A and B are shown apart, each in its own frame.
Chain A
């Protein structure tokens, strides 16, 4: 089977997600779209980008339950990154909300763009 190139737009969207979330903080406080976008970003995006970046290095993904594992790890890594970044800012006393969000957005962007140019990126499991 020939390895077809996967679409680029999900990673590009992921790379932009943090900045979208940051711009969503300009919406009315507590409004539904703002809550949805920010919660979704904090719980999903950084981990999804990091996983996309290291995915080619992690070996094949064809055991039963691998998709579930990816979802669980995405959330775990997102929350972990969120905790570490925000705790770092709070403990050093330099926390501001935009600063923390920009750091997380930066991590997400770098990881997602890194995943885009990562060599060996192809449809999973494409064995010759």
Chain B
């Protein structure tokens, strides 16, 4: 204060801001005359204190000092000289640094910026500068005011010691000044000298490290990432440049006498590491964490140890699984206790992690990846062959493409796959490039890969509507544990779903054309909105997005329609409206359907609808006609429904509780999520469409269900209710997704049986099986005809002109043997007819309730007794009968 009083040109006004110290305020007010003393009680930190002073200041130029700096007598005079140029908005002084306790012998010049010196070196001639870093800054008051003062949220201070705002705040301030006046000049005034007396406590290595970390963290928080990165580079540049010299001095023991070379080298490396770590740490904490309280040691410990423990438990549990012991409840009945322990530990750890403010988000990602692995890699690791007969069918289609090198547009049972071949052609190429015999290995890992690929677009989508990290990761977790409809196997729809989500995430992020009114956001959930884009940028983004859009169109029937629906829903929102993209997408979809796939659409409409999915796969007792499902399957069916209805219920409650957030920042996700509901109106799809709608609406429902619990204010909700809900969801997932594993998993014997059949069966033979739950059923499918008995018509009235030799399903169940002989007798000359009864048929028909109990046994008894069938193949996986040609003896 004395030095300010001694200025040759006294300042118009001196304002002293005292940070959180009432006694000092009172003392200063009596001690200093002509000084405005302000008590600062708000946000701690230099930036906030300076803004407090700025609001009270009246002069044209404001200069900032602190308790460690003392100006030379001509300081104000010299500073004001520089402002003679009207374009100059900020002037930085020259610093003369003096260490109160002597300069530490490890402190090299390269680290001068840590104590407040400009980091890029200062021009001696008063030339322009391109950063504001360093102490002794003065700025035109009105400009600084217009720029909003010092950015307080970037002001990370080291170890509770007040000092110059760190580099992030200065960088952001410079960018704001530049935005206000692009031609503004920032200059250094070397004649204005400021003497800095560095207190002894600043000479410690601990202060160096914490200050460097604070600088890095502050730079990471600069909203313009590239600028923050560039400023980081500028700060580290002197250290990097000085390293070779420091190494040389260490090795040769040369250099200035007051600096110990090896310690200076160590200090530089330490500063380099600390700044970089601080920066990375700041970057990884890109979601908002201020809602979360400081974590207890227990929470910290649970969150860090549960993941490895769960992973090990899961791995151990896979060693002792007896798949043959599976009952009609599915996979859940053979998983050992360690498996469930792994899930419980994982859920507990994840919930603990959610309340850990300081955890890197890599931990969250790790938990979600292990969850995906437990849910989707378990079958790939356990089962001897590929799971799921639909996946086998897709492998067979890929095999067809590899063998023929051309799609087969002729109408046939699988022609839909040839009219939308994108998925099959891509993986056929991958199989050939990798030199694999078939796509089985790729297909086994499909569910894991597709789910992991879903993670990124899902995170993007969630982060555009909320920055609360608890909510983002909670929503992601709920998504994967409720995604039970089983459409993520090796299939076109799984591939296109990933692209669908990616396109929508980019749409929401990059196609914003107007400001979003900030609605009420009492829970602090809103995300930093994506930047508004110009028409030119939107055009280029749209061009880029056309590639995945056309690819989706070429690969699947339903997903492009869902995409058009979602784009239409976004079109309703003025700020995300994009007529061009909507029209072009609709035109591409319509064009593909009319030009390339019209034949299929016209002639085999019902087949397409069927191939949209495999209702049978996860549907349950409701659709079954003739028998009664086993008690286990009824439980599975109710578990599916409970999970789905429960999720929707939670989502509706979440929507109500967070309605104000949902109305503004959550709006784009809301539109994307409810767009699929329009497809419920097209109820002609049978029961299947409801599961697709469930899946396509899942991003919305999962986030809303998570929003009911997160961010949790009440401890008992967080620690008791939420984990139980998550456990119920995972359990429900195992019922829904793996409740039919008795018929979805195949033994190697079953595969050998079917492959052996394909070796002996002549061309154009007829292969009959009770259901399609037959591995490799469609291998070389162009050579054979296939009939699955469960697809026989329910009655003669249902299918007009049904040929006389084809029985209806009730006719078959009533009298299996004659019905089969009629059906299988109609084969072309030279061809044969085979009946395959593999292990999976019994659970697929009788357990599921398609046939009454005992039908398969009766069938085997009757055909053995009829004398018309001969067993041609048989192993532990099942038997194959051949229909013998009718003999004279048979006729009589």
Contacts and interface: CB of A to CB of B under 8 A. Distances in A.
Interface of A: 1, 21, 25, 27-31, 34-35, 38-39, 41-42, 50-51, 54, 57-66, 68-69, 71-73, 75-77, 79-84, 86-87, 89-93, 95-97, 100-101, 123-127
6 contacts: A54-B543, A58-B544, A62-B227, A65-B463, A96-B405, A126-B226
Interface stretch (B426-434, B627-635, B664-672): B426-434
A30 B441 CA distance: 10
Contacts of A101: 429, 433
A77 B502 CA distance: 10
Interface stretch (B157-165, B515-523, B534-542, B816-824): B534-542
B429 A100 contact: yes
A30 B425 contact: no
A1 B305 CA distance: 43
Interface stretch (B228-236, B388-396, B743-751): B228-236
Given A83-B422, A83-B551, A123-B230, A68 B435 contact: no
A75 B502 CA distance: 10
B483 interface: no
B495 interface: yes
B435 A25 contact: yes
Contacts of A82: 426, 429-430
Contacts of B715: none
Contacts of B433: 21, 25, 34, 38, 41-42, 97, 101
B429 A42 contact: yes
Nearest to B527: A64
A79 B537 contact: no
A38 to B, nearest CB: 4
Interface string B425-454: 110111011111100000000000000010
Given A62-B224, A93-B406, A76 B429 contact: no
Contact of B429 (A60, A69, A86): A86
Residue among B175, B429, B534 with the most chain A CB within 10 A? B429
B502 A73 contact: yes
B435 A27 contact: yes
Given A27-B435, A50-B544, A86-B426, A61 B225 contact: yes
Given A31-B435, A90-B401, A77 B505 contact: no
A125 B227 contact: yes
Interface string B484-507: 000000000001001100110110
A59 B498 contact: no
A77 to B, nearest CB: 5
B34 interface: no
Contact of B435 (A28, A62, A63): A28
A109 to B, nearest CB: 17
Contacts of B547: 50, 76-77, 80-81, 84
A75 B498 CA distance: 10
A57 B453 contact: no
B499 A125 contact: no
Contacts of A127: 175, 178, 224, 226-227
A34 B287 CA distance: 39
B609 to A, nearest CB: 22
B665 to A, nearest CB: 14
Contact of B225 (A42, A62, A68): A62
Residue among B423, B502, B548, B554 with the most chain A CB within 10 A? B548
A69 B554 contact: no
B871 interface: no
A64 B429 contact: no
Contact of B540 (A57, A61, A97): A57
Contacts of B436: 29-30, 35
Nearest to B537: A59
Contacts of B426: 42, 79, 82-83, 86-87
Nearest to A47: B547
Given A54-B544, A63-B528, A80-B547, A38 B434 contact: yes
A68 B405 contact: no
B226 A72 contact: no
B94 interface: no
Interface in B692-712: none
B130 interface: yes
Nearest to A104: B429
B509 interface: yes
B407 interface: yes
A31 B509 CA distance: 41
A77 B421 CA distance: 17
A38 B424 CA distance: 17
B270 interface: no
A47 B495 CA distance: 16
A1 B421 CA distance: 50
A100 B467 CA distance: 42
B4 interface: no
Nearest to B287: A64
A58 B552 CA distance: 23
Contacts of B543: 54
A124 B530 CA distance: 18
A21 B435 CA distance: 12
A68 B283 CA distance: 13
B555 interface: yes
Which 6 residue pairs are nearest across A and B when measured between Cβ atoms?
A: A125-B226, A29-B435, A80-B551, A83-B422, A93-B406, A86-B425
B227 A76 contact: no
A90 B421 contact: yes
Given A62-B223, A95-B405, A79 B544 contact: no
Contacts of B233: 1
Given A58-B540, A83-B423, A65 B459 contact: yes
B548 A1 contact: no
B484 to A, nearest CB: 24
Contacts of A89: 425
A92 B425 CA distance: 12
B457 interface: yes
Nearest to B171: A1
Contacts of A31: 435
A125 B230 CA distance: 9
B38 interface: no
B531 interface: yes
A41 B426 CA distance: 12
B435 A80 contact: no
Contacts of B864: none
B434 A34 contact: yes
Contacts of B422: 83-84, 86-87
Contacts of A42: 426, 429-430, 433
Interface string B21-58: 00000000000000000000000000000000000000
B425 A59 contact: no
A69 B225 CA distance: 15
Nearest to B224: A62
A108 to B, nearest CB: 14
B4 to A, nearest CB: 34
A35 B405 contact: no
Nearest to B500: A76
A127 B234 CA distance: 15
Interface string B450-472: 00010011011001100100000
B550 interface: yes
A89 B421 CA distance: 11
Interface string B339-367: 00000000000000000000000000000
Contacts of B231: 1
Contacts of B432: 97
Contact of B554 (A59, A65, A68, A84): A84
A21 B528 CA distance: 41
B428 A65 contact: no
Nearest to A22: B433
B780 interface: no
Nearest to B401: A90
A17 to B, nearest CB: 13
A115 to B, nearest CB: 14
Interface string B384-424: 00000000000000000100011100000000000001111
